[in-house]
Chains A and B, each alone.
Chain A
Amino acid sequence: MTVRAPSVPRLELPIQRFELSCGALLLVSPRPQASIAAASVHVRGGPALDPVGREGTAFLAGSLVDQGTAAHDEEQLAALLEPEGGEVGGDATGVSGSIVNERWELLLETLAEMTVAPAYPADKVELQRQRLLDRLLVERDDPRVQGGLLFRHLVYGEHWLGRAAYGTRESVARIGARELRAHHKQNWVARRGVIAVCGQVDPQAVRRKAERLFARWPAGTALQTSPPQFPERAVRSGVFHSKRAQVHVYLGHLGVPRQHPDYPALVVMDHVLGTGPGFTNRIARILRDELGLAYSVNASIHSSAGVLPGMFTAYIGTSPDKVRTALQGFRREIARIQEEPVGAEELDVAKSYLVGSFPLGFERAARRASYMISSEVHHFPADYLERLLASFAAVTREDVQRVAREQLFPDRCVLAAAGPLSQGEVSRLARPSELGTAPVARTPAPRRARSRR
């Protein structure tokens, strides 16, 4: 059965942009009839600004802004927000939240307090720091977490992207209220700030309110960055040994930044290769549906792309006896998308999905606020959404093959595995020459599946 892609659905995301006198940027997207309002304060910098030896400082500084401010303690903040459906959370790059639409001003007031004047009370810092230390201790033995961290480290090396944003038990143990206040004072400054508000609001009213609430936010200095340095792409491997039923397998390498000109073609490639919904992508179709190797399996280069390069990651959670077959499958499908132009139908399916599904993600106010922040951080033009959809629609089979050849490096992949495998086994599996191709047939799919088509 064939289905023709219908016209592209409309998505209206009007954004009004204001420069506040404190130096921060305010973005407002009015959404008539919205029942929920959302707001975010993004502060450029994040874990990149962690002092050496105190990794996790940025994460704790952001996640503890809700533990009390100059005007309200933690209990008072909760008492203000929770009965109004207010949910607020911070991280290394800022603080955001949502609330029933009628109380959007309360949300903005509390976010401004948390941004401009968090108190970092010593007892609350100690409590939350201890909770994080406890979590890190438990995660120390979690193969999925440790496998993911190992993979990041193999890809990014000593760069801050190669570690967890929340630090280690050793580094977190060195962070106290004094360090958090110092980090906040130096880095949470208006000239690095982007504020986004979405809801049933009047943009001018939001501007007036924000101007007043953020008036005392120190301007500070703009963020200075230096070019990142990452290890060369090469075969490397690591194992986190754990006696569990499954092995978590991560295969991949350094990827591309979000601003890469081939980003739209790489998104389309990903959807054909390893992220298209259900079984429309090759890796899920073959490794899960036809070979029954796993419940969770995927591959993507675009999803982690940010201001800095992301990672190409092929992931599978599978039984130990199926790891070799899974890796053969990953490598075979990477090679295939590099060697052969993708089929016209699977290209159309991927493009139609990307173009047609875009409005579905924007039902929630929080998603709209997060898009506004992203568009500013990545310097997207005002008509970016339209351009992006047009870019997806323009991707050709040749484009997909070209970007697969240029951006996928199956012979220079790192391999991280977490589960009941030894380092020796993983080292051997990391070498493409030792994997072989049997027992998985090369393209196309195994006979059983072919006979049904």
Chain B
Amino acid sequence: MSRTRKAPSASSFEKGGARIHEHVLANGLRVLLAERHLDLVVAVMLWYRAGARNETEKEAGVSHFLEHMMFKGSARYAKGAIDRITTTLGGTNNAFTTADHTAYWFEFASDRWESALEVEADRMRALLLDPAEFEAEKQVVLEELAQGEDDPWRVLSQEVQAALFPRHPYRRPVIGYADTLKALRVSEMRDYYERFYHPGNAVLVVSGDFEPARALATVQRLLGSIPAGKPYAEADAFRAPAEAQRGEQRLTLRWDDAGSRLCIAWPTVALGTDEDCILDLVSTLLAGGRLARLYRRLVIEERCATSISVHNDTRVESGCFWLFAECAQGTRPAELERQVDAELARFFAQPVSKAELTRAKRIIAAGEAHDAESVSDLAEDLGEFAIDADWRLALRTLERIQRTSAEEVRAAAARLLAPGRRVVGWCLPKEEPARARKGRAR
């Protein structure tokens, strides 16, 4: 199976009942128009290829902090104006930052959505970054960071991620660290903004009830005159490779509650590769629903876990395959881990049955319908593939899933999820429970 990223030449650009049109403006802005008239609603998402991956060690957290500052004033929109306009028009807005990108989102009734483009055009080229606002918002971000530090799952997964990517920026939490945030200066954020916030490094997705020719003309009028900016490759700094593990790594944290939480992660593959699709199948087979293998064994049969989930988290340069489980009270952590290992070993040794594979494929196919129910769902799915890989891959998920065989699933899982490639993290009670209900020592 090839591991290269192949963008198919789609003949019919349709997804979730939407007709998709692609355009690239002269300044490099890629525009996806997903036309669907089910509801009188339009979602607008502007994506920048700027996430934690693009930060230097010293800048850790700047992408997310900048996302906050994008609401704190630009040439035409003073602080608070974006929220006020959005609200007055009966719309909603938000934004989020990941390891690979930052995205800004609006949803409006379909007779007024173009206001979102006016906002995005202004803050793409003329963000104020007022020093006083910068310092005030820094306190908010530090409180957000403190909020995360009270969440044991978040702390555990961040520690595991740091171990999983020893040198690559994927090791860092998207929100950054208190010390890098405190030390960050406005000039450094401005430099980052100028490096990454320009049309050639962005994708605009408009999804919902609009007329495509008019929409494109409006996009051209409002965003077409923004200077192209430096090509992305020139702005992109050197990054260490996301290396595979050299043997299993383990870590243990302590928390002041009764939970015993397990987080295992493996380095995997980039978004949009064939193996990315296979890992979607692996995750569905292992923990997608009540008949999935790990749920059945750990929760129902052995009763050694109260919950189990897995997540195929592929990114631009690599990926993580996550497994989260919480021990049933009285079960020793080693017993839970032994059960996980036994089930994975079975998965690696023998291809799943035809019925099991068919069921997983149908679950993924049905999930596609759920994932396109709202225009924002649709914009997010298309936009994420567009900014990180190729949007046409979003249209081919089912086709790629359908042609995957049980042996391909087994082989990919056995290779990518091998014990020697993983990081095993535990978050355990500060004091071990006095009595164990069941379980054997490892």
Q: Is the CB of B86 within 8 A of A278?
A: yes
Interface presence of A379 (CB below 8 A): no
Chain A residues whose CB sits within 8 angstroms of the CB of B87 once the complex forms: 276-278, 280, 349-350, 352-353
* Complex partner residue of A352 from B73, B79, B89, B367, CB under 8 angstroms: B89
Closest Cβ of chain B: how far from A25's Cβ, in Å?
Answer: 26
Give CA–CA (A86, B71) in the complex, Å. 39
Q: Is the CB of B111 within 8 A of A9?
A: yes
Consensus secondary structure, chain A interface: mixed
Interface presence of B85 (CB below 8 A): yes
Q: Categorize the interface residue count of chain B.
A: 35 or more
Q: List 17 A-B contacts (CB under 8 A).
A: A5-B89, A9-B90, A33-B17, A35-B369, A74-B290, A79-B359, A82-B289, A83-B366, A85-B365, A85-B370, A127-B303, A138-B258, A276-B87, A352-B90, A363-B38, A452-B78, A452-B79
Closest to B137 in A: A292
Q: Is the CB of B147 within 8 A of A356?
A: no
Binds A, one of B138-146, B183-191, B246-254, B344-352: B138-146
* Complex partner residue of B109 from A9, A144, A453, CB under 8 angstroms: A9
Give CA–CA (A244, B137) in the complex, Å. 22
Binds B, one of A108-116, A160-168, A213-221, A283-291: A283-291
Interface presence of B21 (CB below 8 A): no
Chain A residues whose CB sits within 8 angstroms of the CB of B372 once the complex forms: 35
Interface presence of B337 (CB below 8 A): no
Closest Cβ of chain B: how far from A393's Cβ, in Å?
Answer: 12
Interface presence of B22 (CB below 8 A): no
With A141-B258, A277-B86 in contact, is A6–B363 under 8 Å at CB? Answer: no
* Complex partner residue of A289 from B92, B136, B146, B290, CB under 8 angstroms: B136
Chain B residues whose CB sits within 8 angstroms of the CB of A291 once the complex forms: 136, 139
Interface presence of B334 (CB below 8 A): no
Interface presence of B341 (CB below 8 A): no
Give CA–CA (A74, B299) in the complex, Å. 13
Interface presence of A3 (CB below 8 A): yes
* Complex partner residue of A277 from B83, B307, B370, CB under 8 angstroms: B83
Q: Lowest 9 CB-CB distances: which A-B pairs, in order?
A: A356-B90, A85-B366, A292-B139, A278-B83, A141-B257, A9-B109, A83-B362, A295-B144, A78-B290
Q: Is the CB of A288 within 8 A of B16?
A: no
Interface presence of A17 (CB below 8 A): no
Within 8 A of A (CB), among B284-339: 288-291, 299-300, 303, 306-307, 326, 328-329
Q: Is the CB of B38 within 8 A of A134?
A: no
Interface presence of B158 (CB below 8 A): no
Interface presence of B243 (CB below 8 A): no
Tell me how many residues of A have a C-beta within 8 Å of chain B. Answer: 82
Q: Is the CB of A130 within 8 A of B303?
A: yes
Q: Is the CB of B256 within 8 A of A359?
A: no
Give CA–CA (A119, B314) in the complex, Å. 41
* Complex partner residue of B88 from A3, A364, A365, CB under 8 angstroms: A3
Chain B residues whose CB sits within 8 angstroms of the CB of A194 once the complex forms: none
Give CA–CA (A449, B299) in the complex, Å. 53
Closest to B288 in A: A82
Interface presence of A131 (CB below 8 A): yes
Q: Is the CB of B83 within 8 A of A280?
A: yes
Interface presence of B91 (CB below 8 A): yes
Beyond the given pairs A3-B84, A82-B359, A243-B256, 20 more chain A to chain B contacts, judged by CB atoms under 8 angstroms and listed by A's residue number, are A6-B89, A83-B362, A83-B366, A138-B259, A245-B149, A246-B150, A277-B83, A277-B93, A278-B71, A278-B80, A285-B80, A289-B79, A290-B136, A348-B88, A358-B90, A359-B40, A363-B38, A363-B375, A448-B136, A449-B79
Residue from A246, A354, A363 with most neighbouring chain B CB atoms (10 Å): A363
Interface presence of A34 (CB below 8 A): yes
Give CA–CA (A100, B291) in the complex, Å. 19
Give CA–CA (A292, B326) in the complex, Å. 35
Chain B residues whose CB sits within 8 angstroms of the CB of A212 once the complex forms: none
* Complex partner residue of A292 from B84, B136, B256, CB under 8 angstroms: B136
* Complex partner residue of B38 from A34, A79, A100, A349, CB under 8 angstroms: A34
Within 8 A of B (CB), among A322-380: 348-350, 352-360, 362-365
